[in-house]
Amino acid sequence: MFALALHGGAGTIARTALTPALEADYRAALRAALATGTALLAGGAPALDAVEATVRSLEDCPLFNAGRGAVFTHDGHHEMDAAIMDGATRRAGAVAGVRTVQNPIRAARLVMEATEHVLLAYPGADELAREHGLPLQPPAYFFTQQRFDQLQEAIAAGRVQLDHAAATASVPDPNWKKGTVGAVARDVRGHLAAATSTGGMTNKRYSRIGDAPLIGAGTWADERCAVSCTGHGEFFIRAVAGHDIACLMAYKGLSLAEACRVVVHDKLAPIGGEGGLIAVDAAGQLALPFNSEGMYRASRNAAGEEVVSIY
Ligand code: ASP
């Protein structure tokens, strides 16, 4: 028995801004990523391999704000964050502010497996990826016109915004792409893992680091649960969202669903923490709560039932 959940970002996903054709593209990309992870888990692969492959598939798709298609910083660059964590061993790796790595989630795993560190940032992280032969790309690879336009609008409005906030901006553009990405899995041995990858927030100050690469905030896995978050990162950092779910389960005896509900609706929402998360527990139960208008998501539960949803 195995279970898998993934997300492609949460936020104000306006139904009016999503044309039927674009919605079909998102659903197809989410389904393809789910199929990638499912095939690995069904073949007995570790949860760690499944979440990495699932996230890679989403990083390669320009529809999502991770890898190819990442949002722009205020000064017009891409700075990407990613983290991966293995619940059974509590090993973790993360990168922040990488500018050249095609698949930041691979660099995060490299930090975990090839160094004694947990988090590498900026040129040193790009350099590690280069040394180990990971594919690097020039800025043009990460460029998408829609996200560049989104930056100009965010600068004009003087705001730092969630990728998805653009969908309800003054000029709704059906081509605006959305979504930090993440995956959580429980493999056939009962081990859990989580992975998250993002370009961060549009118009962020250069060198800003979000919640995704911070172990315990946007990404967490132990023997009890695996969690990947998406939303306004500063609030997820202040709530230590991922680890809080593990704590509520461990110290308060809450179920996964209840712990996730408390964090997303009782803790994050009141302080303005718009977003959501995906989580899995050791029994293969899944939770995919969000307090925003929508969250791109897909899952396959322990019974083999697959769901792809946006709202
Ligand atoms: N959590 C991400 C960040 O703040 C953004 C997102 O999930 O869309 O960097």
Find out whether the beta carbon of 54 lies less than 6 Å from any atom of ligand 1. Answer: no
* Residue 65's CATH number: 3.60.20.30
| Alpha helix segments (H runs only) across the chain | 20-42, 47-59, 104-114, 123-131, 139-142, 145-157, 233-239, 241-252, 256-261, 269-271
How far is 166 from 170, CA to CA, in rounded Å? 8
Find out whether the beta carbon of 202 lies less than 6 Å from any atom of ligand 1. Answer: no
The sign one gets for the Cα dihedral 247, 252, 256, 261 is negative
**Average of per-residue pLDDT values in the chain:** 93
Count Cα neighbours of 29 within 13 Å in the Cβ-side half-sphere: 26
Q: Does position 109 have pLDDT exceeding 90, yes or no?
A: yes
Q: Does position 17 have pLDDT exceeding 80, yes or no?
A: no
User: Between the CA of residue 169 and those of 29, 52, 151, 162, 174, what are the distances in Å?
Assistant: 24, 33, 12, 11, 11
**19 assigned to active site:** no
pLDDT of residue 164: 67
The residue segments making up the domain with residue 8 are 3-309
Find out whether the beta carbon of 79 lies less than 6 Å from any atom of ligand 1. Answer: no
Q: Does position 172 have pLDDT exceeding 60, yes or no?
A: no
Mean pLDDT of 281-299: 97
Number of domains in the chain: 1
pLDDT of residue 179: 79
Which residue's CA is the nearest one to ligand 1's atom 7? 230
Q: Does position 133 have pLDDT exceeding 60, yes or no?
A: yes
